[in-house]
Chains A and B, each alone.
Chain A
Amino acid sequence: METKKAIISVKNLVKKYDDFVAVQGLSFEVYEHEIFGLLGPNGAGKTTTLEIIETLRDKTSGEIIVDGFSVDKQPQDIKQIIGVQLQAAGYYPNLNLIELIELFAGLYGASIKPMEMLEKVNLQDKAKAKYKALSGGQKQRFSIATTLINQPKIIFLDEPTTGLDPQARRNLWDLITEIRNAGTTVVITTHYMDEAEQLCDRVAFVERGQIIALDTPDNLIDKLVSSGFERKKEVKKANLEDVFINLTGQEWRE
């Protein structure tokens, strides 16, 4: 862990809207080949931070380096090496999945086989389907497929599991872990702490545009326990989600 190399470094990031400070002095680093989680309530500045790193939004001040490229000076270079999944983004209307992948391949200037991309996210059966006709989990998997087209070094996933059923959620965790294991750094935002605990190597808690904690999930939990925290209710060996999965099965419902 100690010798990890930072692939993203954010220093004193500030984003001001007219009369509102969305991000006030964020600093953190994301290491190569890790799954890094940005956690926090709605409006804490997670999405704003992501979009500034993704070069989609201007910052007010601060310094951001992504794989050696500065967001100020080399945004085009950054776009080439990142894959972006936006919260609630749509896709070009009236096109099927293969055609959408072809479009993105053209936009990135990447030569890929669309079907292979769909196979990576297990959507080969839906090749001729329209994006609108997909289920929630399938939509998210497709979005992730579009982030992989340019073989990026880093992918950004903004709340990829929001609104998914437990099966689809677990299935997406597996996919994200596979992508990381294949050598891609993953930056993810989520509202689900069980997800962050299972998935993320390190997490940062963002609150009112500031980072209030940053560590591995284990360390953060240990720290809280050592401070004398106790749950009101004794934890059982399984929770209700385990019951749900046990009753309804592991296979995807879509």
Chain B
Amino acid sequence: MQKDIHERNSDSPSGAGGYNNLTATLALAKASFRSIMRSPSAVVFTLAFPLIFILVFGFLGGGGTRIDVGVTPGADVNNPVMGMLEKTGMIRLVKDKSKAEFDKLLEKGNVDAMIDVHRKVNSAAYSVNVVYTSASRDKGGILKSVLNNIFYDKTLKPTVAEIKESTITGREYKTIDFILPGQLGFSLLSTGVFGTAFVFLSLRQTLVIKRFFATPVRRSSIVIGEGIARIGFALIGALFIILIGHFFFGFTLVHGALTVVNMLMLATLGVIVFMGFGFIISGIAKSESMVPPISNIITLPQFLLSGTFFSIEAFPSWLQPISRALPLTYLNDAMRKVAFEGLGLWDVKFQIMILLLWGIGIYAVAVKVFKWE
């Protein structure tokens, strides 16, 4: 008995049980987050860079867009649908023309679409009939998105019984709806790759990690703490980009806050996968000056080929398989589907699965090449 107690006492003061890994992990996350926020390059790559592109494309494209929609002669004009369309500020309703005149304008693309709203027989609801023209595909696409948005509006929904559409064009969105998810994806890619690579290389080279190893902290705490900080920073950046896009450039968020949450969940997955590239680079780079070239080898092709600026369908067919092999392609694709088409995460499970496969592959390599010292 006596011996038993003695042994327990001698073990307890410094026993590993008294040490809290969570405290250590959070202390590291806090330190790393502070450091990132004060690092100019992180802020530039994650926020300024994507925002500049969004600004440029926002003003080039979305800002000045005006869609001329002909109102079919004889249609009911005093209904909430028309009112909502006019309120968007993007749509000009063209009235007081004959059917023949409209047909000509439609043919030339001078009118982007025709709309016809009728109260349904024996019902309080409206029937909406839209005719697009192939002469104005992109504006037709925008109108489609506007209509989509309007019909999700709570006040209007009960009064609209059905929408009939014809000559449905391809998935051409507002410029911002295309550009923003791409920029967001690229922002996540650069913060994941560059940030992680630089931090771990410099922590290793300046012996910061070695000094950490002289404390009881676990290696997993170092990686997780750093990961929490980077994901947190990336998500704040993503939220910032989404909100600026939404409120200043009319970026479409079909289900509002829910869509934002879905996008942020995708962003988290994206940045975790991309951080894997960063771990690999920090392992193979011999000095800090080697980080940018290696990082660019990974980020630039994705920047150009993953549908950041242009739809990959616009690429020559021999290039498309390459595009379709890159992880950013799938993140961008999932982001656009979630934001613009209002899909849930389960609907983009294919894209998520490809990202996960990339993640497994990347981390398998990272575990091999990552160096602590």
The 29 listed contacts between A and B (C-beta, < 8 Å) are A76-B19, A76-B216, A79-B214, A82-B214, A84-B211, A86-B210, A86-B211, A88-B207, A89-B206, A89-B208, A89-B211, A90-B207, A90-B211, A91-B208, A91-B211, A92-B31, A92-B35, A93-B35, A94-B35, A103-B27, A103-B28, A105-B27, A106-B23, A106-B27, A106-B30, A107-B216, A109-B18, A109-B20, A109-B24
From residue A45, how far is it (CB to closest CB) to chain B in Å?
Answer: 18
A102 and B27 form a contact (CB under 8 A): yes
Q: Verify if A127 is at the interface (C-beta below 8 Å from B).
A: no
B-facing residues in A105-158 (Cβ within 8 Å): 105-109, 146, 150
| B207 neighbours in A (Cβ, 8 Å) | 86, 88-90
From residue A198, how far is it (CB to closest CB) to chain B in Å?
Answer: 27
CB-based nearest B residue for A100: B31
Q: Verify if B53 is at the interface (C-beta below 8 Å from A).
A: no
Cα(A107)–Cα(B332), bound, Å:
38
Number of interface residues of A (CB under 8 A): 33
Most buried by B among A84, A105, A108: A108
Cα(A105)–Cα(B216), bound, Å:
11
CB-based nearest A residue for B198: A93
| B212 neighbours in A (Cβ, 8 Å) | 107
Partner of A56, one of B20, B32, B208, B214: B214
B206 and A77 form a contact (CB under 8 A): no
From residue A216, how far is it (CB to closest CB) to chain B in Å?
Answer: 29
A-facing residues in B200-256 (Cβ within 8 Å): 202-203, 206-208, 210-217
A93 and B216 form a contact (CB under 8 A): no
Cα(A77)–Cα(B216), bound, Å:
8
Most buried by B among A91, A106, A109: A106
CB-based nearest B residue for A68: B10
Cα(A67)–Cα(B202), bound, Å:
34
| A93 neighbours in B (Cβ, 8 Å) | 35, 39, 202, 206
**Known interface pairs A79-B216, A95-B31; 14 further A-B residue pairs with C-beta atoms within 8 A, sorted by A's residue number:** A56-B210, A77-B15, A80-B19, A90-B207, A91-B208, A93-B35, A93-B206, A94-B34, A95-B34, A103-B30, A106-B27, A106-B28, A106-B31, A109-B20
B14 and A99 form a contact (CB under 8 A): no
Q: Verify if B16 is at the interface (C-beta below 8 Å from A).
A: yes
Partner of B210, one of A79, A89, A150: A89
| A32 neighbours in B (Cβ, 8 Å) | none
Cα(A84)–Cα(B10), bound, Å:
24
B215 and A108 form a contact (CB under 8 A): yes
Q: Verify if B8 is at the interface (C-beta below 8 Å from A).
A: no
From residue A244, how far is it (CB to closest CB) to chain B in Å?
Answer: 32
